[in-house]
Structure 1
């Protein structure tokens, strides 16, 4: 039986591993970072002096103090690293996107089930402040029957950044980067759609991967639009939902990532609390409106759920089958874009 704290082996120590996972893991109080696989040895040693720093996956997986392997390496490596970790008897968390091939995801789910191991996917955006606020509004019935929902996530990055995300390979491009989060939020809010239309293109000069997408999902009369662009300086609303009773429009991005990117910690006061000036607006059918307090976001909930699954046998905080369902929808969206027509699901 695993004793707390649970030993974590982190595969990858780029921005995601060093800033978006490690501080969140440590702040839950139920883990210790036991080993890190990275070429950035000095940076990893400085940040986590008690962790072993190794240069390859096998060396990390082979360490007996590692109970849980977190896969934060480039997207094409997710499946082989997770497969090797499960084969060694380790629990596994994979950063999104779960896999680049649906068959690999199906095989990993079966491998984990057969071995009695926890397998989950880091869809941390389920614990974003704005998403939690929208979820609560939908559950309250304040919007009435929603007929149009738009989830947009824009950036302005005209320059092509160096790195694998901008190279033409499986798992690269904007749809593989932000698409899994948006699709997962859609599925959590509305369930599985009936059909999809999509526009996926490359707009920036010299870009080798898609940097714009506009996906339209049909749910009977309801339409859900998921959109993202790399060339939007004045970002669109992050959430806009329009129903028979009211509309809710929310700008801005959940504040947790900015805190972590800057070297902050989830333990600091006010973490996950959005500034009151950024609250969304609820507008009633008569035109009257008021702001809605934003629910506090907290990505630590995901890792607390992982700890509970490992130590108490609770369900994983994100079922990998959910992540796979989202990737299947992205695949169908690519089909729709290539065919230039609505694709029934």
Structure 2
């Protein structure tokens, strides 16, 4: 049994982590650190509750620390946990800088500890479906990939993610997911061009981005906008034999927010109305077949299953620390491209 302590009791902890710990036979929750002590104690009367994350990490006998606190705290708390001999799950984005991420990755290796970053969107059902389509080769050689995570949030909200600070703004928040997915599909690009800006009135952090990743024979465009009120395209693949278009977001987050348990039969299953569509044509484009593609069942539970095997059996972490660091590297390069107005080369040699 893996004993777990969680730093933070906000949306991330409540929605994306605690439900999976509660419904796993391999993990048991022993402690939470939060400023909301009364609320935590009422929900979890049988665990230790701390008002100080540093104290919890130093004093509790957890095997695994899950850090869900604001992004600027990730590095210092993660370093403390690793030096205390704890395995570590870091909520994305891993850190505010690539230098911090690499320092943590190297430290985890030195300590022979698991450090995994919670890029759970690898287990979105639509992303799993996309991977399968590419692997099957039905669309031919992929030439263009568009990935959008748009929402309708025209007003700035009073929360730390939308306030100035290290690791805040939508590029770190949602951009980290889209970058990680692109790297999973296609590996490192040769170069990138980025526009990362503020579109909303009174915005103090980036709330819109468009990143273009340039490969030898492929273009990848990643985007997030706060002004998307209409049904939104999530993915679009264009290949030499056809295309695939997918609307709507994976259902798991909404289900978790609504209290659906990860063990529920309907968890992770997308309604047919949101299935993607595959369009295939002959070389002349004269013949076109249109096919709805059933979305593979999403499975954030698989992340935790793989994490357990990494800790107990020494298998690879579901998202290792160096993968998390590469995401931060591309975020930094996107910021550089926006600041200079230039296309920037992508060099991952420091990860070799």
Smaller-chain TM-score bracket: over 0.9
The superposition leaves residues 226-264 of structure 1 with CA deviations (integer Å, 9 ceiling, x where unpaired) of 000011111431000010111000011010000111222
1:23 to 2:35 alignment? no
Quote the offset at 1:14 in angstroms: 0.3
Conserved? CA contact 2:144–2:218, under 8 Å: yes
Q: TM (normalized to structure 2)?
A: 0.94
Structure 1 unaligned runs (5+)?
A: none
Counterparts of 2:295 and 2:322, CA distance in 1: 29
Counterparts of 1:154 and 1:177, CA distance in 2: 12
Counterparts of 1:304 and 1:26, CA distance in 2: 13
Distance 1:235 1:173, change over 3 A: farther
Moved more, 84-93 or 17-26: 17-26
1:80-229 → structure 2 map (5 Å cutoff): 80-229=76-225
The superposition leaves residues 258-302 of structure 1 with CA deviations (integer Å, 9 ceiling, x where unpaired) of 011122210112100111111000011132201001111111111
Quote the offset at 1:64 in angstroms: 4.2
User: Aligned-pair RMSD on alpha carbons?
Assistant: 1.1
| Counterpart position of 1:45 | 41
| Counterpart position of 1:299 | 300
SS at match of 2:9: coil
Counterparts of 1:183 and 1:25, CA distance in 2: 27
Conserved? CA contact 1:37–1:54, under 8 Å: yes
The superposition leaves residues 149-191 of structure 1 with CA deviations (integer Å, 9 ceiling, x where unpaired) of 0000101111211121111111111101001100000000011
SS at match of 1:272: coil
Quote the offset at 1:113 in angstroms: 1.0
1:342 to 2:343 alignment? yes
| Counterpart position of 2:249 | 253
Conserved? CA contact 1:155–1:233, under 8 Å: yes
Counterparts of 2:63 and 2:213, CA distance in 1: 40
Conserved? CA contact 2:97–2:332, under 8 Å: no
Quote the offset at 1:331 in angstroms: 1.0
Counterparts of 2:103 and 2:262, CA distance in 1: 34
1:313-332 → structure 2 map (5 Å cutoff): 313-332=314-333
Structure 2 unaligned runs (5+)?
A: 282-286, 347-352
Conserved? CA contact 1:13–1:72, under 8 Å: yes
Counterparts of 1:62 and 1:337, CA distance in 2: 41
Q: TM (normalized to structure 1)?
A: 0.96
The superposition leaves residues 32-68 of structure 1 with CA deviations (integer Å, 9 ceiling, x where unpaired) of 1110001112322233232211111133213443110
Quote the offset at 1:329 in angstroms: 1.1
| Counterpart position of 2:72 | 76
Quote the offset at 1:24 in angstroms: 1.8
Quote the offset at 1:7 in angstroms: 0.7
